[in-house]
Amino acid sequence: MKLEVKREQLLKPLQSVIGAVERRQTLPILTNVLLVARERDITLTATDLEVELSVRAELPAETPGETTLPARRLHDILRALPEDATVTISVEGDKATVRCGRSRFTLVTLPATDFPTLEDLPFDGDIRLHQGALRGMIERTHFAMAQQDVRYYLNGLLLEVSPNILRLVATDGHRLAFQELPTEDNTVEARQVIVPRKGVLELLRLLADSDAEVVLKLGANHLRVLLGEIRFTSKLIDGKFPDYQRVIPREGGRVVIADRQVLRSALARAGIVLNDKTTGVALQLDDWILRAKARNSDQEEAEEEVEINYSGGSMEIGFNVTYLLDALGALNGELAKLSFSDAASSCLLEEAEGYGGKHVIMPMRL
């Protein structure tokens, strides 16, 4: 196999798939990238057996063939070469030679036939939408996913499809984030799947904030996403997601309307005195006033006062300040609405005007 390309022509597609390569692998083949060179194009594929990334580039090969190359080593070499350099890759036996001007690198290859791929998986139908819309939904929900929870089904993002509707839900048991988006060209039957954390974060990295089309395909055990020449495939978590509809409360009797950025800034300042051991902030509600109070284990204190639209009487309730900040940051509107039933109930946080999803935060004792 022999291939001659400009540095950028190979570096860009390699950067698209490098996220699927783990630095520490028990299987040596998984540290490599599969390179398939044809007469008119090449394909690069990387996988960690949970997530697979494949990208096609229109780069004709002088001598077609296929091999696997050390992914991060090749990436480091290409990054270190001059921007406009011409790179030649030739493979003979179990060695690949990378040449550029007076530079020459010899890399050890592994057989392409040993590389695990997910080529021929069956998928039921397509969901088509704008990349920017899907990216926005993931940005406003993914932070609520659990991390290494024994309840493995919480370590991912619920993707729920029904006729002309796509919903994303994440929860770690203490908070919940929910987003909903109408879809037009939806040929998938109603179902729920759970995308693992790594797949969610990798997809977020790949999606552009644009009107370019993205196609989602659901299989029995995999999700496939097509973004132009990039093909993303992720295993699904085999588990049952909690009934999130039961967790989302109806609007409580006590409703606070506040300037979202003003409230978020006040909570961020109050949270300065907090640490890993003390994460809670007390919200004291009085007519037209919200006071945010925080205290750490060294008895250092912070207090912020915010004008609000509220006339439900005095109440005090505690929350993890990071959860509040994440939820407020996920909203788009100028005004935020916080709904409570009482001091022991969860908070429903959403936009006061328009529709930007729902966030539920459980209270905490301070």
pLDDT digits (tens, 9 = 90+) for 224-241: 999 999 999 999 999 999
What is the distance between the alpha carbons of residues 118 and 128, in angstroms, rounded to a whole number? 22
pLDDT at 26: 81
What is the distance between the alpha carbons of residues 44 and 46, in angstroms, rounded to a whole number? 7
Q: Which stretch of DSSP H or E encloses residue 44?
A: strand 42-47
pLDDT at 7: 96
CA of residue 163 relative to chain centroid, distance: 24
pLDDT digits (tens, 9 = 90+) for 126-170: 899 999 999 999 999 999 999 999 999 999 999 999 888 999 999
Q: Which stretch of DSSP H or E encloses residue 99?
A: strand 95-100
Phi and psi, residue 30, nearest 5°:
-80, -10
**pLDDT, mean over the chain:** 94
| Among 137, 133, 186, 136, residue whose Cα is nearest residue 159 | 137
| Second-level CATH architecture of 126-245 | Roll (3.10)
pLDDT digits (tens, 9 = 90+) for 80-139: 999 999 999 999 999 999 999 999 999 999 999 999 988 778 898 889 999 999 999 999
What is the distance between the alpha carbons of residues 45 and 21, in angstroms, rounded to a whole number? 10
DSSP 95: E
Among the four given CATH numbers 3.40.50.720, 3.40.50.150, 3.20.20.210, 3.10.150.10, the one describing domain 249-361: 3.10.150.10
pLDDT digits (tens, 9 = 90+) for 218-227: 999 999 999 9
Q: Is the pLDDT higher at 221 or at 25?
A: 221
pLDDT digits (tens, 9 = 90+) for 257-286: 999 999 999 999 999 999 988 999 999 999
Six-digit token string for 123 = 């998928």
pLDDT at 125: 81
DSSP 125: -
Q: Where are the domains of the chain?
A: 2-114, 126-245, 249-361
State the Cα angle at 318 between 314 and 322, rounded to 5°. 135
What is the distance between the alpha carbons of residues 303 and 317, in angstroms, rounded to a whole number? 15
Q: Is pLDDT of 25 > 80?
A: no
- Which runs of E-coded beta strand occur in 200-279? 213-218, 222-227, 230-235, 254-259
Cβ proximity of 115 and 67 under 8 Å: no
First to last CA, the chain: 66
DSSP 192: E
pLDDT at 189: 85
Q: Which stretch of DSSP H or E encloses residue 196?
A: strand 191-196
Q: Is pLDDT of 244 > 80?
A: yes
Q: Is pLDDT of 355 > 80?
A: no
pLDDT digits (tens, 9 = 90+) for 301-330: 999 999 999 998 999 999 999 999 999 999
Do domains 126-245 and 249-361 share one topology? The answer is yes
What is the distance between the alpha carbons of residues 181 and 165, in angstroms, rounded to a whole number? 6
CA of residue 348 relative to chain centroid, distance: 23
Sort 365 into a burial class: Cβ within 10 Å, 0-12 / 13-18 / 19+.
exposed
> What's the topology of domain 2-114?
DNA Polymerase III; Chain A, domain 2 (3.10.150)
DSSP 7: H
pTM: predicted TM-score of the whole model, two decimal places: 0.92
DSSP 321-356: HHHHHHHHHH--SSEEEEEESSTTSPEEEEESSS--
